[in-house]
Chain A
């Protein structure tokens, strides 16, 4: 991400707009290529040298903030690794030098009648104590300073265009640092999105949208007591997950009172943003995958099919957390049931899952439990919905549909 000081944005009425750059603009592409090459060529050199090369490259450019933003992104996620390289612990060496020097303070360049101890003499003595040369002593004295750390590794394997896309996204994220609350519409990738919301300890309010999908509002624990930008950084981390969806839009309340601005940020799938988050594996477990394949084989092409299978298309709001069942089954007459497949997991996972299923209080759900999980009907006595045990890779389709027939509702 980019630090606040390197953000670029402008105001248009009540809206704040990130100053996006065109990722296909040859000028910026060449800037990106230059910076990647700059870092690559500075491996083994000090941070201070990287900085001065960057400053030299910026020269009189008025878009120096872009250069600095891109540099920050080239250093993120350990892409550029700076470490202290030193023959001795600089702290111990410094203590020794300061103490030696203090004994014959003040240290002078040329000895005179009063002050006989020279800088050279002290450093020589320190060099002897640490078995180093004079040059090494002088170099090692402050190896722990940021500017003296060495760029030991840089992963130059990044496409310039991707870097520019990352830059645009980082600008939008940067504005979200100042967000008090964020509202968005999504119609897919619920599990991924809510995983981020949960990991960042954000809180949600969900309502179904008319045309399918959901409107989600997120803010933080304390937000009900007062509006605050305390959770802006966390909200910024959710944005890349929204971008996985083919259709989405977002509106965030932004408090940039330092600029005398309060208003909103609006973005959607047409804003040209691209995510750097990885698309998750399509299925959480092989049981789900197995079932989807089976279903496809039996009904996929059949025109006679009564039921349509969809993945993770409903969010059950448990207030404070969510349950997103693995599948939904929709009958052509409009009835609908949910399907959750519980395969083999840790006991804690199973317990959490059971709690969630209980709290969901839904009758229209088929819960398919693997027989490999050593449990019995009694363990599920508190559950509503239809229970089904299966062996092998996936529950049998007929059995699932039979249960669905029983519990589906319009």
Chain B
């Protein structure tokens, strides 16, 4: 009996020599080429199908390394939690497929590293942002003492263990590397079930698949797609079971500074243009934002108002007194590990140049980023400045002070930033500062982002403890708002 030949091309399995054989239900004929084909993700089923029926086949599709012989080396003090071990066991029992749901900060990375070690297949780790991709790069390089490939953020090396983003995987992996990996790890897997990104698991043959997330269910119900592409939910642990163990105690402090007279003068003139337009057109800057943006392309006045607002934000971001206050805070916390967050990249580099502290933005390449984060973790660097790139999921356990030099109104980002300094460490007490300019847009922006659950009941009592140098006019602000 001639054997069936299994080939792979750009996300599709091609079967030759099927004549007279029973077909697997998902195999169909491509009318464009006459070939018999199946989507790549059916690889495991197809191979099982042939094996069960005793049909000989020649596998020319699979081109990943099946025995990397990886040995995980972790910090000796590291002791996994029981739930981490349980999660891994459940995943392995499910045939190395499925999603593990653990709350933020519960140590999903460890589960992934153990899964990679257990399967020892060429692995692709897909992360939602470039920053997280770089974080995985650091973790993997350290854990396995192996050269890790990067696909995304301007880098393109594919290796046995490769990290990438959803965006780059969609652009590159689907069409070019779909047969190159035996294990797929999807970090924050709730990002996956979209029209575009679901191509990544569809067009790859990897028999092993691991999804990780704290928030599995999507409002649009699309998470139901994950079952077929990744496997079912194999382990779930909620936040209530873990609370208290994971997070440090913390305080938040709001510092207000004045604009200099020159800054104020320019700010006011721009502010007049902006608010005059809003009033004239009865626009609410928050509720009617999309409408405002749309007007930019039609109404020169709207465009002018938009540019005025941009300039206002620039003035606020560059305010001299903020810089001065930042210097004070760095001195005050000279012995602690401090993270500085800004709204824009220009501020990142201005701060880096002024205080000679390392900067990380989306332009920082993986190697330098790793070096900076490693040195920060070791305590050699005591401060670091970043824009949005460090918000999500980046581990800097040593950091106990965060300074928000600038930000937008997003509550999600704000919580993420706060989360950076709340990683558990024994006896740690964390402080989050916000430096904002008085009587500017920043007041409302800052107020909006602080309207989150984590703050209720925490903001006011916390204030008295650490606010020795801060004269807060919280009351004044409250009066303005209610």
Q: Please give the number of chain A residues whose Cβ is less than 8 angstroms from any Cβ of chain B in the complex.
A: 46
Query: How far apart sit A60 and B306, CA to CA, in the bound complex (Å)?
Result: 9
Interface locus among A72-80, A197-205, A235-243, A273-281? A197-205
Q: Does B75 contact A (CB under 8 A)?
A: no
Q: Is B144 an interface residue (CB 8 A)?
A: no
Residues in B neighbouring A141, C-beta threshold 8 A = 353
B398 at the interface (CB under 8 A from A): no
26 A-B pairs whose Cβ atoms sit less than 8 Å apart in the complex: A61-B300, A61-B303, A62-B297, A62-B298, A62-B302, A94-B358, A98-B356, A98-B372, A98-B381, A102-B375, A105-B383, A106-B334, A123-B356, A142-B353, A144-B363, A145-B363, A201-B175, A205-B32, A221-B9, A224-B30, A224-B31, A224-B37, A225-B202, A230-B170, A230-B175, A319-B32
What is the distance, in angstroms, from A206's C-beta to the closest C-beta of chain B?
10
Q: Is the CB of A229 within 8 A of B32?
A: no
Q: Is the CB of B368 within 8 A of A91?
A: yes
Residue A101 lies at the interface, judged by CB distance under 8 Å to chain B:
yes
Of chain A, the residue at the smallest CB distance from B26 is A225
User: How many Å from the CB of A30 to the closest CB on chain B?
Assistant: 18
When chains A and B are docked, how far (Å) is the Cα of A64 from the Cα of B300? 10
Q: Are A205 and B31 in touch, CB under 8 angstroms?
A: yes
B285 at the interface (CB under 8 A from A): no
Q: Sort chain B's interface into a size bin.
A: 35 or more
Complex CA–CA separation, A320 to B199 (angstroms): 22
Is B357 among interface residues, defined by CB-CB distance under 8 A? yes
The verdict on B10 contacting chain A, using a C-beta distance below 8 Å, is: yes
Q: Mark A188-213, 1 if CB is under 8 A from B, else 0.
A: 00000000000001011100000000
Q: Are A146 and B363 closer than 8 Å at their CB atoms?
A: yes
Verify if A152 is at the interface (C-beta below 8 Å from B). Answer: no
Contacting residue for A107 out of B34, B298, B356, B358, CB 8 A: B356
Q: Does B65 contact A (CB under 8 A)?
A: no
Within 8 A of B (CB), among A124-149: 138, 141-142, 144-146
Q: How far is the CB of B399 from chain A (nearest CB, A)?
A: 14
Q: Which residue of the partner chain, among B349, B381, B383, contacts A145 with CB atoms under 8 Å?
A: B349
Tell me if A106 and B331 are in contact (CB < 8 A): yes
Report how many A-B pairs have Cβ atoms within 8 Å.
117
The residues of A with any CB-CB pair to B shorter than 8 Å are: 60-65, 91, 94-95, 97-102, 105-109, 114-115, 119, 122-123, 138, 141-142, 144-146, 201, 203-205, 220-222, 224-225, 228-230, 257, 319-320
Asked whether A222 lies within 8 Å of B327 as measured between CB atoms, the reply is no
Note all chain B residues with C-beta closer than 8 A to A105.
Answer: 334, 382-383
**In chain B between 22 and 65, which residues have their CB closer than 8 angstroms to a CB of chain A?**
28, 30-35, 37, 39
Find out whether the CB atom of B356 lies under 8 angstroms from the CB atom of A257.
Answer: no
Binary A-proximity of B294-310 (CB < 8 A = 1, otherwise 0): 00111110111001000
Considering only residues 342-375 of chain B, those with a C-beta below 8 Å from chain A are 349, 352-358, 363, 368, 371-372, 375
> Contact: B356 with A119, CB < 8 Å?
yes
What is the bound-complex CA distance between A244 and B32, given in angstroms? Answer: 26
In this assembly, does B192 line the interface, its C-beta being within 8 Å of a C-beta of chain A? no
B15 interface residue per 8 A CB criterion: no
* Residues on the A chain within 8 Å of B33, using CB: 203, 319-320
Q: With A102-B381, A204-B32, A221-B9 as given contacts, are A60 and B37 in contact (CB-CB < 8 Å)?
A: no
Is the CB–CB distance between A98 and B175 below 8 Å? no
Contact in complex: B380, A222 (CB < 8 Å): no
Residue from the set A141, A205, A225 with the largest chain B CB neighbour count within 10 Å:
A225
How many Å from the CB of A12 to the closest CB on chain B? 17
Q: How far is the CA of A257 from the CA of B358 in the complex (A)?
A: 41
Whether A65 and B297, one on each chain, are in contact in the complex, defined by CB atoms closer than 8 angstroms, is yes
Would you give the shortest CB distance from A124 to chain B, in whole angstroms? Answer: 12
Asked whether, in the complex, the Cβ of B353 is within 8 Å of the Cβ of A138, the reply is yes
- Flag whether B390 is at the interface (Cβ < 8 A): no
The contact of A106 among B30, B199, B307, B355, by CB within 8 Å, is B355
In Å, the complex CA distance between A225 and B12 comes to 9
Decide if B383 touches A106 in the complex (CB within 8 Å).
yes
Contact B307 A60 (CB under 8 A): yes
